[in-house]
């Protein structure tokens, strides 16, 4: 077997190995991004649930505060009208605003985390595609190099045999 043939075989095997590595690397990156996206989706759910819990706990605290206010007003003999009633209404309104702010904060955090998960999935798809493209490019480069080696061997053989005389 001629040295040129061995060179062509080595080039072809190297190209195939490089292509396989590129493809598999892209697929592994895709899997890693997909796993990270799943973790982020779970984080988003946890953020939402945490905000719901905190909102409920806050509403319970406001109910307790209102109950204490009502009991203290009753104990002191104050009628539930005028200023005492306005204070309780203000407490309830402020408590509701705070509860809605807690909910909003949880919604924003969950949405941000879901966006990160979507970005991870997109990066994973891109990594998979790039791995495939790089594999194809490596194969084509190897084929080109093999052809150049073959072409050089063929031209050299023809010239050595004196077959290219005009």
Crossing angle, helix 3-76 and helix 83-161, to 10 degrees? 180
What is the C-alpha to C-alpha distance for residues 76 and 100, in angstroms, rounded to an integer? 33
CA dihedral 151, 153, 157, 158 (to 10 degrees): 10
CB 110 within 8 A of CB 45: yes
**The pLDDT value given to residue 37:** 96
Give the torsion sign (CA, 45, 51, 57, 60): negative
CB 39 within 8 A of CB 116: no
CB 12 within 8 A of CB 132: no
**The pLDDT value given to residue 147:** 83
Within 10 Å of residue 23's Cβ, how many Cβ atoms? 19
Per-residue pLDDT of the chain (166 residues; tens, 9 = 90+): 577 777 788 888 888 999 999 999 999 999 999 999 999 999 999 999 999 999 999 999 999 999 999 999 989 988 888 898 999 999 999 999 999 999 999 999 999 999 999 999 999 999 999 999 999 999 899 888 888 877 776 555 555 555 555 5
Domain boundaries, the chain: 3-161
Task: Report which DSSP code applies to 164.
Answer: T
**The pLDDT value given to residue 23:** 92
**The pLDDT value given to residue 61:** 97
**The pLDDT value given to residue 158:** 52
Per-position DSSP letters for 94-114, written without gaps between them: HHHHHHHHHHHHHHHHHHHHH
- Please tell me the pTM assigned to this model: 0.70
């Amino acid at each position: 077997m001629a040295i040129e043939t061995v060179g062509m075989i080595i080039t072809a095997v190297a190209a195939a190995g490089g292509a396989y590595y590129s493809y598999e690397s892209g697929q592994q990156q895709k899997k890693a991004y997909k796993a990270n996206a799943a973790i982020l989706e779970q984080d988003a759910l946890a953020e939402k649930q945490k905000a719901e819990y905190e909102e409920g706990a806050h509403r319970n605290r406001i109910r307790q505060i209102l109950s204490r206010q009502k009991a203290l007003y009753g104990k002191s003999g104050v009628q539930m009208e005028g200023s005492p009633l306005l204070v309780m209404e203000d407490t309830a309104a402020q408590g509701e605003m705070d509860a809605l702010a807690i909910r909003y904060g949880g919604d924003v955090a969950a949405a941000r985390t879901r966006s990160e998960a979507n970005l991870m999935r997109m990066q994973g798809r891109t990594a998979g595609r790039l791995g495939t493209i790089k594999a194809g490019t490596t194969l084509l480069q190897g084929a080109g190099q093999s052809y150049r080696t073959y072409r050089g061997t063929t031209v050299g053989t023809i010239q050595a045999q004196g077959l290219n005389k005009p």
